[in-house]
Structure 1
Amino acid sequence: MYSEPEPDTAERMRQMHAAATVALYATPIGSREAWGWRGRTLSRPVATSSGDGWLRLVSAPADKASGKLWDGPQEAERSMPPAVPRPRLRERRTWAEGEYGYLAELYDKVTAPTVTIHEPILRAVPDLDDTWWGTLSTALDAIATLPSDRVAVRQEYLDRAMPRYLGIPIDTTVPAWTTAHGDLHWANLTSPTLAVLDWEGWGIAPAGYDAALLHAYSLLVPEAAADVLQRLGHILNTPTGRFAELVVITELLQTTTRGDNLELEEPLRHRLEHLLQLG
């Protein structure tokens, strides 16, 4: 979840969200709003004839309102095994208006809050019990074994980006590929009952990618980062897991060049030095 975007974007998204409630026969509940990055998404709790739900609106320039990100939640609904806890997708609608395309998705309502509220980065030690971690570990293992032709991370990108943003010559050949959620951060995980949210970008990625991403977003809280390494050690404390960490560090260091995740840059570089020492 992110902060409210600039006024023009916020007004446009609110108008389109209102249109989506009409199209899906839903009624907003309360005043709560959940914004995505730079106002790309707007979600609100709603009431429907089949019970309370969560209505998520996605927007994109009209010429980009299709493809992997557009179809990800629908494909996840069809493909994900029961071992992966997530809100179920009930209905969806797509339309275009002006320069933008829109996707409205009606989900079952998840009552547990996300671990972080407004951003992916963790800033305090979360109160997560053994059951939560066990459920997450089982879910990641189940996702990893799911066959998919979707792509979350491309080898071609790694060939270009890893030497550039890591600042070293490196073998960029991915040692193993598995299916990943692709955006596993703290604002996409609920507690105390686990649900994994936001299935836009799932697909094939370097083995260990999800666990590596969660660890990277924990680096501002060393105790929490150490807990991720311990709880998901069967994934991360392996050669493939360490390579996945290098992939994630590459991606997040690239975001710092655009002005995002600046607080993570120093701990990411410290983690990079440690991984390189491990060999």
Structure 2
Amino acid sequence: MDAQEIEKAVEQRRVWLDKQLAAAAAALDVSVVGEPVNTFDMRSAGAVARSEGEDVWLRVVVEDADYEPVCRWDGNVTANSILGVAKPTVLRWHDWQNNNEYLSGRRLRGEAMTLAPGTTVAPGGVLRDDPHLPDIWWEELRRSLTALAAHPMDWHNELDAVASTIRSVEHHFGITLPENVFADVSWTTAHADLHWANLRQPQMCILDWESWRPMFAGYDLATLYCNSLLDPHTAQRIRNMPELQTLSGNLALLAAICRYLWIVGEGSEWDLLEPQLRMEAEPILSSMSARTE
């Protein structure tokens, strides 16, 4: 597919998503008042909408087997059960099946949720400059992640992170980690997709709860750290946090590094991180090797 064909396909998808957003608005009895925003993968679209005199966020997502089970269909809705975390609440939702020729048979979901305050810290996910977030912002992030970590969860949602990390390390670094390296790892409930496009300022709020699941303790700070490596000041602040000073924190960071290395080369902002990611992995892998000797 050449560039012109890709551009045509993207535009077709955008127009189709706009129509699905309108269908979701009708089903959920809201009126779209903002410009639609599409995710980079064109899997979902959202816009500010009006519901009973208040602004809400309207989102529509199309089912895509390539994203499951990492992105759970009901992740945003089931996250309503999480208490003590600064996050949107899904107010109501509606599922339907697409019967048009384009993407025929795909399931869709519309969600109307409370509108997160402020603006996104870094729309592309990767932080390039110091956002000068105040201490109160960081304190709220820590409170929210602590509350999330303590939230009880169905452990069937764990995606075999140990085996996945072992495979990833072997693929990206040519090193085989024995499974017993993970014997003493601590587990907590994690957002599991914490980058700067999923965080708001000036009032801290965490967006996008499709992927929340059990993970190595410290994983959320580990993913945020990886996405901060182009801004040394913010990166160091996160790296110094106690959650990343433990064995579990090191394994969480290794898992996060491998996660982003898998998508390096796909033309996103994460391509910029490859040298830093590999550099960060070196001392962790050295310490893991020393533990197995």
Equivalent position to 1:268, from 262, 277, 293 = 277
2:10 is matched with 6
Distance 1:246 1:63 in 2: 24
Counterpart contact for 1:86–1:197, Cα < 8 Å: yes
Change (3 A) 1:262 1:66: closer
Distance 2:163 2:47 in 1: 37
Equivalent position to 1:237, from 245, 259, 262 = 245
1:35 is matched with 38
Counterpart contact for 2:117–2:201, Cα < 8 Å: no
Write the letter of the residue equivalent to 1:211.
L
Change (3 A) 1:204 1:225: same
Distance 1:198 1:105 in 2: 12
Counterpart contact for 2:18–2:36, Cα < 8 Å: no
1:144 is matched with 149
2:238 is matched with 228
Write the letter of the residue equivalent to 1:237.
Q
Equivalent position to 1:112, from 102, 115, 118 = 118
Does residue 25 (structure 1) correspond to residue 25 (structure 2)? The answer is: no
Counterpart contact for 1:62–1:101, Cα < 8 Å: no
Change (3 A) 1:229 1:108: same
Distance 2:69 2:278 in 1: 36
Tell which structure's C-alpha radius of gyration is larger: 2
2:264 is matched with 256
Q: Secondary structure at the match of 1:124?
A: coil
2:201 is matched with 191
2:107 is matched with 101
Measured after TM superposition, the shift of residue 276 of structure 1 is: 3.6
2:101 is matched with none
Distance 1:255 1:62 in 2: 18
Counterpart contact for 2:46–2:60, Cα < 8 Å: yes
Measured after TM superposition, the shift of residue 257 of structure 1 is: 5.4
TM-score normalised over the length of structure 2: 0.85
Equivalent position to 1:212, from 213, 222, 232 = 222
The gaps in structure 2 that reach 5 residues or longer are 1-8, 99-103, 289-293
Change (3 A) 1:247 1:64: closer
Write the letter of the residue equivalent to 1:269.
R
1:126-137 matches, cutoff 5 A: 126-137=131-142
Measured after TM superposition, the shift of residue 33 of structure 1 is: 2.6
Distance 1:12 1:41 in 2: 11
Measured after TM superposition, the shift of residue 137 of structure 1 is: 0.7
2:171 is matched with 164
Write the letter of the residue equivalent to 2:249.
G
Query: How many residues are paired up?
Result: 269
The gaps in structure 1 that reach 5 residues or longer are none
Equivalent position to 2:63, from 54, 60, 63 = 60
Counterpart contact for 2:57–2:113, Cα < 8 Å: yes
Measured after TM superposition, the shift of residue 28 of structure 1 is: 1.1
Measured after TM superposition, the shift of residue 49 of structure 1 is: 1.1
CA RMSD of aligned residues (A): 2.2
The CA deviation string for residues 3-50 of structure 1, in whole angstroms up to 9 with x for no partner, is xx81011011001001111111111113x2322131111010000115
Change (3 A) 1:125 1:27: same
Measured after TM superposition, the shift of residue 278 of structure 1 is: 5.2
Measured after TM superposition, the shift of residue 166 of structure 1 is: 3.0
Q: Secondary structure at the match of 1:160?
A: helix
Q: Percent identity?
A: 31
Measured after TM superposition, the shift of residue 108 of structure 1 is: 1.0
Equivalent position to 1:202, from 206, 209, 212 = 212
